[in-house]
Amino acid sequence: MSTGPTPPRIGVWGTGSYLPARIRDNAEVAEAVGVSPEWIRERTGVTTRHVAAAGQAASDLAAEAVRSAAAEAGIDPADLGLLVLATSTPDELGPSTACRVQGLLGATRAVALDVSAACSGWLFAAKVAHDWLREDPTRGCAAVVGVEAYSKFLDPADRGTAVLFADGAAAAVLGPVAAPGGFTDFHFGSDGSLADYVLIPAGGSRHPASAATLRDGSHLIRMDGRSVSRFIKEVFPRLVHESLDRNRLKLDDLACVVAHQPNPVLLRDLARELGITESQLIVVGDRVGNIGAASSPYALATAARGSLRPGDTVLITVFGAGMTWGSALLRWTGTTERQTP
């Protein structure tokens, strides 16, 4: 009995990113929240963050990132078969922001949908694209983009959020690659009992927008920073250890670790405790802040433009509101290792 052809390996054809032009430095943030610039840098590691213009929505940022990734992949956005977008700050509650991006790009062939898993969202979205492409090799390629326009949902005087969150987008074009390249060992988890750790309380069906919610700022991000920190301190080491154990790998086998960037100081401290070297850990949050679902693909794009070489093994770890978390291994490939149907 024939089992049919072996599904292709799915890897990264190209990466891209986009940051709004306006930069908000620590001096500006410090004045609003009532601390010193040094206080922010010492506790978070963040020095600058980018802020979308008044007329820029999440879809505008995402479209630029996808264009950049498509250019690196050597494709036209019109060639995309799928566009999956991850965000916590959509253009509107409906339709999907992915559909807005599809329209901006003229990607008329692409099936477009959103994935909502907060800061973990890009890797969740990558899994959707990965499985969609493996199911039918003739589908070509997919764009997976993470984007946030957090500044639209921030209280500039809230020390717990304003010092960290920022705007930006990053994307990858995924498609078939030669074995043994591509993604493997996706693992995900969620714990809805912790959903109140980070949220935007109002504007949905539970607490519809009203004059009262506007007055008390319930349409802005609220975060229990201490609880989130405890969560990260537990989940990040666990993701690293479990991925290495499942795949019988050692830290030395990893070219780099691409992680969500909630707080560069915390991330570096945890990596040091795990034995991850400075050269292995990709840190971008110091200059872009926490850009949520865009953090991990932005870090991946940074690694791709740096020392990453074909054959390198990348560990991707994500964690975010919900609470949600996930990991995957990626064997890096170059454009010469693509496969076409």
Predicted confidence (pLDDT) per residue in 101-121, tens digit? 999 999 999 999 999 999 999
pLDDT category of residue 19 using cuts at 50, 70 and 90: very high
Query: For 216-248, how does the pLDDT look when each residue is reduced to its tens digit (9 = 90+)?
Result: 889 999 999 999 999 999 999 999 999 999 999
How far are the Cα atoms of 79, 125, 148 from residue 304, in angstroms, in the given order? 23, 19, 21
Give the chain's mean pLDDT: 95
Maximum Cα–Cα distance across the chain: 71
> Residue 339: what pLDDT?
61
Would you call 290 a catalytic residue per the annotation?
A: yes
**For 134-168, how does the pLDDT look when each residue is reduced to its tens digit (9 = 90+)?**
999 889 999 999 999 999 999 999 999 999 999 99
Residue from 26, 50, 119, 130 carrying the catalytic annotation: 119
Per-residue CA distances from 66 to 48, 50, 254 (Å): 23, 18, 27
What percentage of residues in the chain have a pLDDT greater than 70? 96
pLDDT of residue 1: 46
- Whether 256 sits among the annotated catalytic residues: the reply is no
Categorize the per-residue pLDDT at 316 as very low, low, confident or very high, splitting at 50, 70 and 90: very high
Active-site residue (options: 26, 130, 260, 263): 260
Domain 1-341: CATH superfamily, name plus number: Thiolase/Chalcone synthase (3.40.47.10)
What gap in Å lies between CA 297 and CA 126, rounded to an integer?
10
Mean pLDDT of 8-22: 97
Cα(71)–Cα(105) distance, integer angstroms: 12
Three-class SS of residue 263? coil
Q: Please tell me what DSSP assigns to residue 137.
A: G
Where along the chain do its domains lie? 1-341
Model pLDDT, residue 3: 64
247 is catalytic: no
Average pLDDT of span 166-180: 97
pLDDT tens string 266-311? 999 999 999 999 999 999 999 999 999 999 999 999 999 998 999 9
pLDDT at 341 exceeding the cut of 70 = no
Per-residue pLDDT at 6:
86
Query: Percent of the chain beyond pLDDT 90?
Result: 93
**pLDDT band of 337, cuts 50, 70, 90:** low
Bond before 180 cis per omega within 30 degrees: yes
Residue 340 pLDDT > 60: no
| Contact in structure between 123 and 318 (CB atoms under 8 Å) | yes
| pLDDT bracket for residue 338 (50, 70, 90) | low
The contacts of residue 144 (CB under 8 Å, 6+ apart) are 84, 85, 86, 122, 125, 126, 128, 129, 171, 172, 173, 174, 297
